[in-house]
Structure 1
Amino acid sequence: MSHRPSLIPCLRYRDAPAAIEWLCNTFGFRRQLVVDDGEGGIAHAQLCLPDGSGMLMLGSAVDNEYGRLMHSPAEVGGCTQSLYLVVADAEAMYRRALEAGASMVIDIRDEDYGGQGFTCRDPEGHVWSFGTYDPWH
């Protein structure tokens, strides 16, 4: 099995520069590549987890052929997908998310299938779940 992720989630944000700051400061992502669109937005960004085990691509919500496919949770009244990140310390991540103003959907708890986790929304409404449950092990 390759250690390089081959499935990379992609999200659109109305304020992508602010989202990048929030995701890095709150969830610990690191900027790998950030391409400004020349108009105050982000044409393309790649954020990686510090250990290299995952990547997220994102950009500013725009009205083009790809942008019309991608809608913010606020536009559609909810999400059609969510992201799950395996973490070593769910309680520490929970505290960081709370301190950063994440909206909790499911408070931290022990899961029936193992591990401990929680689910929250980022400032633009994307749903994120974090837990110690690792489905690979």
Structure 2
Amino acid sequence: MEDMHTRSSVMPTLRYRDAHAAIDWLCNVLGFARHAVYPGPDNTIGHAELTLNGGMIMLGSEKEDDYGKGFKSPGELGNVETRSSYIVVKDAEAVWHRAEGAGAQVVRPFQATSYGSHEFSVKDPEGHSWSVGTYDPWATHNM
């Protein structure tokens, strides 16, 4: 049986107007790596898988099919979201500096928390929220 801590069993999925630019931003700023990127028609992304420290997200270009019409970007909803993603990294400060350098919209500045994390939250260029920190919920906690 495979170790479930080495592979995601839950993968957030996102749609982007410009999926090529989103992939570049997510990789260059947050540190994701391209696992698989499948082109779609008319220079779109049909499906992409990006990995980070054993986790994975999936994304693709916006589509006007029956399924795709059910997704809206935060910008289309007055910058309101119904979800955000938290990614665990070893050096959140380094990622913070990359995000600052990329001009990311800061939602919550880099800070130390009462539960021992160093973290921050930003929005990607299409308005999706990303929290980045050193807090590892799989670690043993003393409550």
| TM-score (norm: length of structure 1) | 0.94
1:58 aligns with 2:70: no
Q: Secondary structure at the match of 2:70?
A: coil
Partner of 2:111: 109
Within 5 Å, which residues of 2 pair with 1:39-118? 39-49=42-52, 51=53, 53-77=54-78, 78-118=80-120
CA distance in 1, matches of 2:63, 2:41: 13
Percent of counterpart pairs with the same letter? 50
Q: CA contact under 8 A between 2:31 and 2:95: conserved in structure 1?
A: no
Q: CA contact under 8 A between 1:101 and 1:123: conserved in structure 2?
A: no
Structure 1 unaligned spans of 5+: none
* Corresponding pairs, count: 135
Q: CA contact under 8 A between 2:32 and 2:50: conserved in structure 1?
A: yes
Partner of 2:24: 21
Q: CA deviation at 1:113?
A: 2.2
4+ residue segments displaced more than 6 Å: none
- Deviation string 1:41-82 (CA, Å, 9 cap, x unpaired) is 111111112x4x111100011111221121100111211100
CA distance in 1, matches of 2:8, 2:36: 16
CA distance in 2, matches of 1:29, 1:132: 16
Q: CA deviation at 1:38?
A: 2.1
CA distance in 2, matches of 1:33, 1:60: 14
1:129 maps to amino acid: S
| TM-score (norm: length of structure 2) | 0.90
Q: Which has the larger radius of gyration?
A: 2
Q: CA contact under 8 A between 1:90 and 1:116: conserved in structure 2?
A: yes
CA distance in 2, matches of 1:69, 1:130: 27
The root-mean-square deviation of aligned C-alpha atoms, in Å, is: 1.1
Structure 2 unaligned spans of 5+: none
Q: CA contact under 8 A between 1:73 and 1:124: conserved in structure 2?
A: yes
